[in-house]
Structure 1
């Protein structure tokens, strides 16, 4: 498994932990690292992704609610919700380092491993719509 995939899986595991437990995110992260030893570059990448997700969580969740027809985030499976957050973060805020199609493909592959039978198609459908939003925003910005 590549470093980026492993990093994404750690992000998903941590977001799951935060969703399922109350308490300080920083304390949970300290405990998480005590149980999940990894190379320093992987830790840096994971923490960069987590910081970006938490910094933009409201905007990410708003976008996901917009494209999740008949689904609220609270009704989604925890894994699906957090995979969507991670991939949306990469699509919207890390496109310079992660091609959006790669972010989608990675989310779908991780969904096959950790999600339900329906997770890959569900995640792919929503993320395709998020990508179209990003492209539309980029086009309108370049036209200005």
Structure 2
């Protein structure tokens, strides 16, 4: 599975976990739709869920006039996924790749403003982590 596909499926699984409180393993299994599992997909979902409080705290620090709860669910979970990659996969994935991928996925799954919003928040997170 390509990493882009793993990220898209991870976003879908995180969305299910966030909205319907699905079990992590069930959410991953559901998005795989009987395809073979993927190590990077598992790492992204389990890692994001495992560090959720830390990731949410990081995101909250860069939201201006917004609360995490008010964000569109797609945007919230895409930010969580990207912040996980920025913080915990930096040795594996360059920060610019994380931002580019998140912006492209936002264009596919978010609304008209999502990609700009995601770019703005993640750029600040990237500077804060560096």
TM-score, structure 2 as length reference: 0.92
Q: How many positions carry a matched residue from both structures? A: 130
Greater CA radius of gyration, 1 or 2?
1
Q: Deviations over 1:61-88 (max 9, x none)?
A: 0010110111111100011001101111
Match for 1:37 among 34, 47, 51? 34
What is the aligned-residue RMSD (CA, Å)? 1.6
Q: Which structure 2 segments of 5+ residues have no match?
A: none
1:62 aligns with 2:57: yes
Q: Counterpart of 1:50?
A: 45
* Structure with the largest fraction of helix: 1
TM-score, structure 1 as length reference: 0.84
Q: Counterpart of 1:116?
A: 111
Q: Counterpart of 1:13?
A: 12
Q: Which structure 1 segments of 5+ residues have no match?
A: 136-144
d(CA) in 2 for partners of 1:111, 1:59: 22
